[in-house]
Structure 1
Amino acid sequence: MIDRIGRARQAGHKIWALLFVLLALFCVIFFAARGRFQASAATSTVGTVLAPFEMAFSYGGQQIQYIMSNLWEIATVHEQNKMLKNEVEQLRQQNTMAEEYAAENVRLRELLAYKQSAHQFDLLAARVIGRDAALWTSTIVVDRGAKDGVRENMPVVTGKGLVGHVTEVGPVSSKVQLILDVRSSVGTLIQRSESRVTGLVTGTMENPYMPQMVNIPRNADVEDGDAIVTSGFGGIYPKGISVGRVASQRSDDSGLLKIAVIETAVDFQRLEDVAIITASREAPPEPVQALPLSPGAAAAAQISAAQTKAAQP
């Protein structure tokens, strides 16, 4: 009895398997012949039964195609975005370099214009390559040295005015003492023709970027805004180089003299390119002439000279 039941089950499984094979074969034949022959009523019935499955397979295929298309588009966009970022970075670097070249061009044009106007000087262009960390407002280092003909005490300028002078010379670089240094002393004068007051410009610890003009008589004709230039005295700086303008004035501690605070012509905080005066054809300043004597004083001087000569053996 049990064997019969087992055999019946196996026969049922075989029948279902045979039916599945026949159904699959029928589907293959149906789809192969579809469109070639006119569908019969049975075929239409089978098509109706299989339509949901066809729709499901078609929808699944469309979704898979859509997902693959999106994945490909995302990968393409990511690669394009990466390329665009690289291009933006390159353009940013090129823009930065272009701005640097433009700024350097402006500075060099300024030096060139000064060189063309100052025919009395032989100028050597130099670039600032360092500053003294301990004395930021006192000294700089430039990229010109003994091999370029630089010597100590040569003045250093820009197209706007005086910077300082060379204090140490190496083979390929030199150290320059700025006029802001408290150890610096520059002979200067007020450029205004009605004044022509002389004095010394020296650095100060009170305001490192604004030196002072000292040794000015209390009643001297000095006004705020007066231009200050080198006087030529001292043997280092030629006459007529712009130093700055008078920003303010005050009396010194003694009360007999006054001090003028100077706004320098050169912006020392943005100093990058300078020029070294290697030779100057500027005529030295004329010596100070004694004031002419009045007629009475002249006669007294002649009498005194005659008496002195008569008293000589």
Structure 2
Amino acid sequence: MNRVRKETNSNKKIWILIFVVVSVFCLIFFAARGRYQFPLSERIVMTTLAPFQGLMSTVNNEIRYVTSSVWEIATVYEQNKMLKSEVEQLRALNLQSNELASENERLRTMLAYKQASTQFDLVIATVIARDSVTWTNTIMINRGTNDGLKKDMAVITSQGLVGNVVEAFSSSAKVELILDPRSAVGTIVQRPESRVAGIVQGNKDDKMMARMVNIPRDADVIEGDQIVTSGFGGVYPKGLAVGIVDRIDNDEGGLLKYAILKPAVDFQKLEEVAVIINSREALPAPLAPVVPEQAAIESDSAAGDTK
């Protein structure tokens, strides 16, 4: 009996399984052909899955938003880095362009002065160093004996006198400025009714100014007078601008006075200079010291001739 019951139950399960399989097949078949709909099933599924779909949609949108934001931030960051790099490059190019334009303008001015000064043979040089201790005393230039420079050659700009070469090397030279207290430049007042001579040296009290010394107390020198080289001594050609009288003071002794000069050259902005390697102007003969005995003889001779 137990065996019969087990067989009967097994047969029922088989038939039920067959019925389910056939039913599913039919449902799939008719659904595929569009002859059967599942309105109730679809509603149940949609109702059950709707919250999950909404949540997944929200999560998906948030992920897309975050990803998009991160990508945009990274893109903007990279673009910002590129723009900053381009700005720095443009600034450097602009600075270099301005510096080249400034140098070109200075060299044009110097070249125009060189072409106009036909009485001189000039060598254009660049200032490459200045003495850190005595800033206003000496400079180094990038021309030397290979370019024809020698000791005691005058150094100028288009504005006026700079100084003279004190040491010449193969490819460089040392220049003593007129602001050096050790310098001595023979000068004269350019004003026709004055023509007072004197010596220009550096001013110890004001390193950016110069002094014209050995001026007689009653000499005709006034503020605003233009001071130029006298040509005596054989180093500096005559007529080079040295400076303008700023003020006049009396010497301690009381017999002489001196003039404080504002130099014609702006030594703070000195970058290019010209060296006079040859001058076609005839320099005045240097003054020879007069011996007292010779002076007396010449005076008697002149008196006899007058007679």
TM bracket (short chain): 0.7 to 0.9
Q: Tell me: CA distance 1:287–1:128, structure 2 relative to 1, closer, same or farther (3 Å).
A: closer
Mapped contact 2:233–2:286 kept (Cα < 8 A): no
User: d(CA) in 2 for partners of 1:106 and 1:42?
Assistant: 91
Alignment of 1:10-29 (within 5 A): none
**In structure 1, how many angstroms separate the alpha carbons of the residues matched to 2:135 and 2:239?**
27
**In the TM superposition, what is the alpha-carbon distance from 1:152 to its structure 2 partner?**
0.6
Report the counterpart of residue 277 of structure 2 in structure 1. 278
Residues 27-59 of structure 1: CA distance to partner in whole angstroms, max 9, x if unpaired?
xx9xxx9xx996613312331232111111011
Q: 1:22 maps to which residue?
A: none
CA distance in 2: counterparts of 1:41 and 1:92, whole angstroms? 74
Aligned to 2:264: 265
1:206 is matched with which residue? 205
* 1:109 correspondence with 2:108: yes
Which whole-Å CA distance do the structure 2 matches of 1:37 and 1:176 have between them?
111
- How far apart in 2 are the matches of 1:80 and 1:38? 56
Q: CA RMSD in A?
A: 2.5
- Distance across 1 between alignment mates of 2:101 and 2:245: 32
Q: Equivalents in 1 of 2:36, 2:165: separation in Å?
A: 106
Q: Is the 8 A contact 2:232 2:286 kept in 1?
A: no
2-side partners of 1:39 and 1:90: how far apart? 70
Instruction: Name 1:227's counterpart in structure 2.
Output: 226
Task: State the SS of the aligned residue for 1:216.
Answer: strand
Aligned to 2:180: 181
For residue 196 of structure 1, give the secondary structure of its aligned residue in structure 2. Answer: coil
In structure 1, distance between residues paired with 2:286 and 2:235: 16
Residue 304 of structure 1: how far off its partner (Å):
5.2
Residues 47 and 229 (structure 1 numbering): CA distance in 2 closer, same or farther, change over 3 Å? same
Distance 1:50 1:239, change over 3 A: same
Residue 170 of structure 2 is matched in structure 1 by: 171
Q: Output the CA distance in 2 between the equivalents of 1:304 and 1:99.
A: 70
Q: Equivalents in 2 of 1:241, 1:184: separation in Å?
A: 16
For residues 1-313 of structure 1, the aligned pairs below 5 Å read 40-285=39-284, 305=304
> 8 Å contact 2:161–2:264 — kept in the other structure?
yes
TM-score (norm 2): 0.81
Residue 165 of structure 1, CA deviation: 0.3
Q: 2:216 is aligned with what amino acid? A: P
Structure 2 distance, partners of 1:37, 1:255, is 134
Q: Deviations over 1:228-272 (max 9, x none)?
A: 110101110000111110011110111111110000011111211
Structure-2 separation of matches of 1:58 and 1:188: 96
TM-score, normalization by structure 1: 0.79
**Equivalents in 1 of 2:124, 2:55: separation in Å?**
82
Tell me how far apart the structure 2 counterparts of residues 302 and 276 of structure 1 sit (CA, whole Å).
46
What stretches of structure 1 of length at least 5 have no aligned partner? Answer: 1-28, 289-299, 309-313
Instruction: Supply the distance in 2 between the matched residues of 1:286 and 1:176 (Cα, whole angstroms).
Output: 25
Given residue 178 of structure 2, which amino acid in structure 1 is its aligned partner?
I
- Alpha-carbon distance between aligned partners in 2 of 1:206 and 1:138, rounded to the nearest angstrom: 14
CA contact (8 A) 2:187 2:231 kept: yes
Letter in 1 for 2:239: G
Residue aligned with 1:260, SS: strand
Change in CA separation of 1:38 and 1:66 when aligned onto 2, cut-off 3 Å: farther
Determine the structure 2 residue equivalent to 1:12. none
Q: Secondary structure at the match of 1:258?
A: strand
Q: Aligned to 1:84, what secondary structure does the other structure show?
A: helix
Name the SS of the counterpart of 2:284 in structure 1: coil
What's the CA shift for 1:145?
A: 0.7
How far, CA to CA, are the matches of 1:37 and 1:86 in structure 2?
69
Q: Percent identity?
A: 54
